[in-house]
Structure 1
Amino acid sequence: MQEQYANTYESATQPLRYTDNTLAQRGDVVLYLHEEHGRVKEARMMRVWDSVYYQDGEPIGVILVDAASPKNTLPELHTFTVTDRWGDPHLYFRGKITVPQHKIPYQLFPLFRMGFYMKQWNDETQRVSVVPQPPNEPYPEPDEIYEEFFQKTVLKHAMQRNPYCLFTAGLWQRQKHYPHRALEFYRAAATLNFPAAWLELGLAYQGSDLLQRNPEKSAACFQQASSLHNPLAYYHLALCYINGRGVPQSDTFAVEYLQSAVEAGILPAFYTLAIYYRTGTFNKWRPKNSPYRAIEPVEPKHRAAFKLLKRAAEEKWEHTAECKFHLGECYRLGEGVRPDLPTAHELYKDVILTGSQLAEEVLEACYYTGNVLQLALSAEAGSAYAAYLLGRMRLYGEQGVEKNKIAGLRYLRIASESPYEFADMAGRMLQQKEDVTWTFNQL
């Protein structure tokens, strides 16, 4: 029988706390920097509903509700089960918005607190003590909290050089299409070592409406953000090392930073590192004319690639379809898992339904499932790769498709006239006089 152990009691050993070591308390009105895949997309004014912990005192996180909601508002709660070391299951809960301790330093800043005292954690004594709250503005009631109030509060703290609020002001200026004003706020926050600001500067130096492209400065900003443990900066710095962009090229450093990004849950890092482990090379992420494409591949790590792809394919994000395709390849080829063609085909079908219809992964999924209609539509839409795949299927009767030499040659001719790598192979097929069968992995 499961018991619900998640509670709102304080932990005596691991209390949830802000960067100044004061404890997150019920009723705190906070600035919440909402992230999507590691990048801050929105700033909100929220209220701490409460902190929740596991039965052993380890923190689950701070549950937030909208600051303007009534004080007795119950957040949307989700239950989950954790099995202890003895094999007994225990039921816990978290809120729809729950900020764990490792994200509090980057996402939460207390704007208002109730009462005259607050609790503080002492790292040396490992104890909680009660300290006076410094004088501040009166604690706002929910009906006093609206957009103008939020903006005035943030700007006031920004004038006092609070890095969270400086960054938020830059975010708002960017949303209002004032890029140069945004840049001033980002730089101010960066001088105070705010990781998200260094990340934004790094992205800006890649070439944007904020700054002209400067690979060296971009990589330096990512280096600084990485030193402050920004997870997405790990990923972007890895891409710099993959292509020698602003830093000396190094696959070794790229792998190290990708591993750090994976540990922090950055999904693009899962995908990038998985392909490297599958193929032994980062060439998928390099331009066709890159000199680094000549780097000798390393030994693939198929089991590691399979695990990364499986994890990334479970999430809904922009590259879910591509991850599912490569996961299907693992099942088809038995890479890191036992061969399982039915599972591979189910993944391919899902890729076709959810992916971009002109993406190579989608087209190859069509090839493996014998989806002639979708390939024909993509070829008519201008995809030379679809024409190549369809041409060989028709010419040789691959994947159970009925042979049609005339149609096959017509599509291969279209592919052979394209500027892509597969054009040479299409040309060789056109010159074949004998009726031979090619396997996809040979090409």
Structure 2
Amino acid sequence: MAPAITLAAEAPKLSAANTGFMLICSALVMLMTPGLAFFYGGMVRVKSTLNMLMMSFISLGIVTILWVLYGFSMAFGTDSGSLIGWNSDWVGLGNIGLTELWPGYTIPVFVFLVFQLMFAIITPALISGALADRVKFSAWALFITLWATVVYFPVAHWVWGAGGWAFELGVIDFAGGTAVHINAGAAALGVILVIGKRVGFKRDPMRPHSLPLVMLGAGLLWFGWFGFNAGSWLGNDDGVGALMFVNTQVATAAAMLAWLAYEKIRHGAFTTLGAASGAVAGLVAITPAGGAVTPLGAIAVGVIAGVLCAMAVGLKYKFGYDDSLDVVGVHLVGGVVGSLLIGFFASGKGQSEVEGLFYGGGLTQFWKQCAGVFAVLAYSLIVSALLAFILDKTMGMRVTEDDEVAGIDQAEHAETAYDFSGAGGGAAKTAAVAAAVAGAESKKVDA
């Protein structure tokens, strides 16, 4: 009998379908950053609207340049000690072939790197919501530069880079529960503990000035999140990307309903802000878990995240930290919840054969998830606080109290979000009203 002939596995070939799909997903993820800007921009007071928009938009500029220069190499280059990557050929992106494939996949390296770039952009932008009303724009821009370099790029390598310690340990993070949301939420907590509270925190009303803008931002985030999540499988030849797409919708819907139900029981009303926040909480929680759970599991993840995040946003008043727009309560808590629930709801029928406790797999995966969650949380919290402390002691992180009270938009950007000069009496009347409001707020501070 002739000996059996073993054929080498055929090398992946460029897939036009997967390439096109991933380019669309990349564009969807890019749209999430302007969506986040609108979401946050509607939640602040009128006098801080433009600053809030700019704190997100500036990330599009800064992180893009860093990614080209060295960020992609640090996050996805050859592993060094399971902590960081590096590939000198990727510095400046000039030595990458146009048809060179990302190893093991059917898409070009350029497509993979631009998809991951959009993740790198939105992560520091998420932090900005916790710092609303009080941070110098120049200090924020420098913070993004430093934070992306020493926190995001290394953590992305831990979680997604070949050889990264969390990746090798088997921590499941489909699309960024640890690398994006816990990372940003912990950083937000670290920074606000350093820079302190807004003037008038827990005393003056700080209600959202435009709930329609909040809902618009939430809708754009929900829409873009399909690219964020489904695209993270880098193709859909085996249906896992489609599962993630479905679970993204299911968990988000469940979390929104759960948040509203909690809000009705706790506060007696169904609010638009609650609906938007609940949807985002569901999106955050399903991000790490959606490839590992069934749609019923996604409902459970969404409900649990919706309730726990709704409860968590009130902790800032109890413990006295000023998380302006609930980045800690939604992104940190939601990321932790979604990441840890993988240890219970992983079905073994999605992205891998890993099974959670409820599917007979015991607690092995849960402990792996704990390792990833708390390592990222601790690293980001401590390093972010140190960066904020250094910047605060050198250039100053905060605007002056007078500028904060009068309005950070005018102080930092020499603009205002809304021009009322054409309606109701002209520019002189508008200026007089603005001066009167600023004077009234100054008196409150003096008192």
* TM-score bracket relative to the smaller structure: under 0.3
Q: Greater share of strand residues, 1 or 2?
A: 1
Larger radius of gyration: 1
TM norm structure 2: 0.26
Q: Greater share of helix residues, 1 or 2?
A: 2
